[in-house]
Amino acid sequence: MAPNVVAYLFYMLRDLYELHKDPRVAHLPLTGNLWSVAFVIVVYLAFVLYFGPKWMEKRRPFELKLVMQLYNVIQVVANSIIFVYGITYTLFQPEFSFICQPVEHLNRTPQMMHLLYASYGYYILKYLDLLDTVFIVLRKKNSQVSFLHVYHHAGMVFGVSIFMTFLAGSHCTMLGLINLLVHSVMYAYYFATSLGALKQMLWWKRHITQLQLVQFGYLSLHFLLVIVRNPCQFPVFIAFIGFIQNVFMFALFFDFYYKTYVRKARKQRLQETPTDGVTGANIKAKLS
């Protein structure tokens, strides 16, 4: 029974990719083929969750400061360039709709082809993002390999591969554009802190998380608009998945934000504020 189910799913996915993949981008590496994408994700998960920590178990952490500085610079430059390139062919082009942009596999206008090039550049950056976790493992900062971190990176590779294969240039494009902007700011912060500007740049960290919350909040609304009203006949099932995914990511990031900045700040105020000669620490002890 099980082999038959696996075989059925295999042929179903093969036919899905063959019949519905976007012919404008199917020739590009890592598009039009689920198995190469799945292979990269499996290798990534295996390394960061098992083989990497196991290999580093009896080794000293790698000193990767210069490597990570170069990596951050590349990320800032690449994300910024692709963001400007992509926004030029959306915001400043009347043919692109922010309300409902259809899937148009036959649209080969110069504007659309430039937008596809920008989308593909964004897609390739999702593979580069996987090095974030690899660096964490090699530096033996395994506590930073959280569910949120790994799920976000692996999920983005898979999600954007689906976008590039079937939905390039469509309503999903705004997800990539906003994400490029967020990553430009985020990696600029990482680079600044690596130069020793941690104290001066520390205030960025909270606002970057706030920016990410705004990103997921807007994208939830962006896909909800298509679910409620769909004048361009965008696939409602895809819009629903986009809506649920962004609500889920908003919830995960909000949980992180609350625990890191709200609850921790309350505990700190409780410990530091004396009341009638009793310290905050004593109040906390009495309440517990």
152 is known as an active-site residue: yes
Give the range among 34-48, 101-115, 251-265 with minimum mean pLDDT. 251-265
Name which residue leads in pLDDT, 287 or 27: 27
Please, what is the average pLDDT of the chain? Answer: 86
Annotated active-site residue in 27, 149, 152, 153: 152
The predicted model scores a pTM of: 0.84
For range 62-69, the mean pLDDT: 93
Residue 28: pLDDT over 50: yes
Q: What are the tens digits of pLDDT across the range 122-181?
A: 999 999 999 999 999 999 998 899 988 999 999 999 999 999 999 999 999 999 999 999
Domain residue ranges in the chain: 2-287
Residue 276: pLDDT over 80: no
Query: How far is residue 167 CA from its own chain's centroid?
Result: 17
User: What pLDDT shows up at residue 196?
Assistant: 75
The torsion of the CA quartet 89, 92, 95, 97, rounded to 10 degrees, works out to: 90
